[in-house]
Amino acid sequence: MRACGGATVAISRNRAERAAPGFRWRRAVWQLAFCDNCAVATPTTTLAWPSLSPAIGIFIGVVAVSTASILVRFAQQAGANSLAIAALRLTIAALALLPFALTRRSHELRTLSKRDLLTAAIGGIFLGGHFATWIFSLEFTSVVSSVVLVSLSPLFVAAASALFLKEPPGGWVIVGMIVAVLGGVLIGLSDNSGTAPGQNPLLGNALALIGALCMAPYLIIARALRSKFSLLAYVTLVYGAAAIALMIVALLTGTPLTTRDPVAYLWIVLLALMPQLIGHTSFNWSVRRLPAVYGTIPVLGEPIGSTILALLLLGETAQWITLLGAALTLAGIALMSLKRNVA
């Protein structure tokens, strides 16, 4: 018997089962997705084997989240409405997590106070706004501009922390903010000569920035919940709240959640499973087990990976000024994230 996260679990697998080819993979996936308190865990088993490397978790996360903008584009091209994509993505993710949360974290969910529910609801509104505006932005601007600008959330978090939490940024954070803003200005001035549908980069870039802005209050509000609940309970709550918020908006605006091309649903399901569940959960699991310097990798990995995939799969191109602006923005974000994490 061995204690794991406050619960005692029995080791019931024999050597033959543990040596089975698929067992170690299933164990690794379970650990990566749901066990944020244990070194190694399966649904019924805790094993004394070495845990999955956090560096591998980071790599899996970068690859998974880099597919988000590509899958969104595929769903849009198949006729799905952008608001519907955001709402269905979060709904599928929340429903996929709910059974595990109810069985493994029911004690946490039972202790939810009205204040916790209100906090989750407000955080979910901002998280839903983040996904909806970012997905809309991909209708009008290039992938590189969209994913870089929506990654500017550390800039708004630093500003909001200084204004509302009385946490003034350090000198290097301020330098990073200035560099990031300069990069964003260059992206805004470029004409984004890629092949993105709509070709309205000003609107698309503005929507991506609004998506980044929505993340600032979400991350600040989420502090209270994340400090009280496990990763599984936390993401189930906020994904569920965000899904409900976007479903209400879709209902009030008469936005259709259906599409004539069933392939769109395939892309949306993959969007929920790969970037949302595997990608973001991998980051949450990995960065807590690595030095602070590694915290910048998820921030920088998605824009770089998405840009490469957009070039290879969508045939997008961008002017040199756009790429220069992206490089400056990512450098500023890295500087802000690194210095805040180290501090």
Contact (CB, 8 A) for 72 and 197: no
pLDDT of 7 strictly over 50? no
Q: List all residues 6 or more positions away from 311 whose beta carbon is below 8 Å from its beta carbon.
A: 317
Q: List all residues 6 or more positions away from 15 whose beta carbon is below 8 Å from its beta carbon.
A: none
pTM value? 0.77
Average pLDDT, the chain: 78
Burial 169-195 (b: 16+ CB within 10 A, else e): beeebbebbebbebbbebbbebebebe
Question: What is the mean predicted confidence (pLDDT) over 4-12?
Answer: 39
Q: Which amino acid is at 112?
A: L
Question: What is the mean predicted confidence (pLDDT) over 264-278?
Answer: 93
Alpha-carbon torsion angle 54, 55, 60, 61, nearest 10: 70
pLDDT, residue 101, reads 92
> Angle at which helices 280-287 and 231-253 pack, to 10 degrees?
150
Model confidence pLDDT, tens digit, residues 88-97: 999 999 999 9
Residue ranges covered by each domain of the chain: 55-342
Q: What is the DSSP letter of 309?
A: H
Q: List all residues 6 or more positions away from 228 whose beta carbon is below 8 Å from its beta carbon.
A: 116
CA 138 from chain center: how many Å? 16
Model confidence pLDDT, tens digit, residues 175-214: 888 888 888 888 877 754 444 445 788 899 999 999 999 9
Percent of the chain with pLDDT over 90: 32
When computed from its CA atoms, the radius of gyration of the chain, rounded to whole angstroms, is 20
**How far is residue 246's CA from residue 130's CA, in Å, rounded to a whole number?**
11
Alpha-carbon torsion angle 257, 261, 262, 268, nearest 10: -60
Longest dimension (CA), the chain: 63
Model confidence pLDDT, tens digit, residues 214-268: 988 888 787 777 778 888 888 899 999 999 999 999 999 999 999 889 999 999 9
Q: Which amino acid is at 250?
A: A
Output 160 or 10, whichever has higher pLDDT.
160
37-46, 136-145, 181-190 — which one is most confidently predicted on average?
Answer: 136-145
pLDDT of 303 strictly over 70? yes
The dihedral built from the CA positions of residue 55, 59, 62 and 68, taken in this order, carries a sign that is negative
The dihedral built from the CA positions of residue 282, 184, 320 and 202, taken in this order, carries a sign that is positive
Contact (CB, 8 A) for 71 and 274: yes
**How far is residue 149's CA from residue 153's CA, in Å, rounded to a whole number?**
8
Output 159 or 51, whichever has higher pLDDT.
159
Model confidence pLDDT, tens digit, residues 99-109: 999 999 988 88
> Angle at which helices 201-226 and 231-253 pack, to 10 degrees?
140
pLDDT, residue 14, reads 45
Terminal CA-to-CA distance of the chain, rounded, Å? Answer: 39
